[in-house]
Amino acid sequence: MAFKNHYHEVVDTIADTFTEIFRGLQEQYAREIAVVGQQFRVEPFKFLEPPLRLEFPQAIKMLKEAGVTVGEEDDLSTPDEKLLGRLVKAKYDTDFYILDKYPLAVRPFYTMPDPNNPRVSNSYDMFMRGEEILSGAQRIHEPEFLAQRALHHGIDISKIAAYIESFRLGCPPHAGGGIGLERVVMLYLGLDNIRKTSLFPRDPKRVTP
201 within some domain: no
| pLDDT for the residue 209 | 54
Query: Which residue type, as a one-letter code, is found at position 46?
Result: K
Q: Specify burial of residue 128 (Cβ count, 10 A radius: 0-12, 13-18, 19+).
A: buried
| pLDDT for the residue 208 | 66
65 within some domain: yes
Mean pLDDT across the chain, nearest whole number? 91
152 within some domain: no
The domain in which residue 42 lies consists of 8-139+174-193
| pLDDT for the residue 174 | 74
pLDDT at 205 over 80: no
**What pTM value is reported for the model?**
0.87
pLDDT at 63 over 90: yes
76 within some domain: yes
How many percent of the chain have pLDDT more than 90? 75
151 within some domain: no
pLDDT at 171 over 80: no
161 within some domain: no
69 within some domain: yes
Residue 45 to residue 196: CA distance in whole angstroms: 17
| pLDDT for the residue 2 | 80
pLDDT at 206 over 80: no
Q: How many residues does the chain have?
A: 209
- How many domains does one find in the chain? 1
pLDDT at 10 over 80: yes
| pLDDT for the residue 203 | 74
Query: How do residues 70-118 score in pLDDT, each as one tens digit?
Result: 988 899 999 999 999 999 999 999 999 999 999 999 999 999 999 999 9
What phi, psi does 52 have (nearest 5°)? -70, 130
CATH number at residue 24: 3.30.930.10
163 within some domain: no
Q: Specify burial of residue 185 (Cβ count, 10 A radius: 0-12, 13-18, 19+).
A: middle
Query: Any alpha helices (H) in the chain, and if so which ranges?
Result: 8-28, 30-39, 56-65, 78-92, 143-152, 161-166, 181-189
Residue 15 to residue 50: CA distance in whole angstroms: 8
